[in-house]
Amino acid sequence: MRPRIGVTSIRTLDGSRLVEQVNLVYCDAVRQAGGLPFVLPVLQDVDASEVLSTLDGLLLTGGGDVAAWCFGQEASPEATGVDSARDAWEMALVAAADAMGMPILGICRGAQLLNVVAGGTLVQHLPHVTSQRHRRPERDCELVHSVALDPTSLLATITGMGPFGVNSLHHQAVGLIGSGFRPVAWSPDGVVEAIESVDRPQLGVQWHPELLTSRFEHAQLFGWLVSMASAPPVLQVEPAPVGLLDAVA
């Protein structure tokens, strides 16, 4: 049986109706990598463990900003698309997946959420800290800038040593790194572009590889998730501690 990958969705309005929405390129990327995607609607946090009990891996998709209260800050006026119900649901999913030793791939918002769950923070609006333009929706399927990789990282093992090009669709980014994670990729201006767990199968990238799967290094991220979802779970009692690091050089 192919590994079953839960794919998180976005709550949005269709006229006056609240609906769940997911960009099908996420599902296509999972299928191309050999997995079976299952779209997860936003439910109550108490449902997380039961939902994940039928799955093998978790894909945290992009979307609106994580609510600032989740990482102990006041919201920036530039915050957009905040959905506290989605935040609570996905934080519960991450906690349940972590307890099960389930592999997690976080994309854009998903990478940020992984960091927040681990006790880290976010840079709420990148134009406040860098002159490099990171939000480039008009070039969503193009390479906008390069990322440099830590050659000792899991990410480098998956994709190759790099550097390589990525797209860029975000105005927020990882700030202080959460416990048990480390930064492993950076844009030319020093913004953290990827984090990974030091001892769990959990990886987050700031770019959108689902839009770039024709390129080896981006398709390989989904291949890693599906491959890890096929393996026995990685169970740990306590993650190894790490210090908090600044995201922006």
Q: Where in the sequence numbering do the catalytic residues fall?
A: 108, 208, 210
Helices (H) and strands (E) in the chain, counts: 6, 13
- What secondary structure does DSSP assign to 170-222, as a single string? -S-EE-SPPTTEEEEEE-TTS-EEEEEESSSSEEEESS-GGG-TTSHHHHHHH
Identity at 94, one-letter amino acid code: V
How is residue 150 annotated by DSSP? -
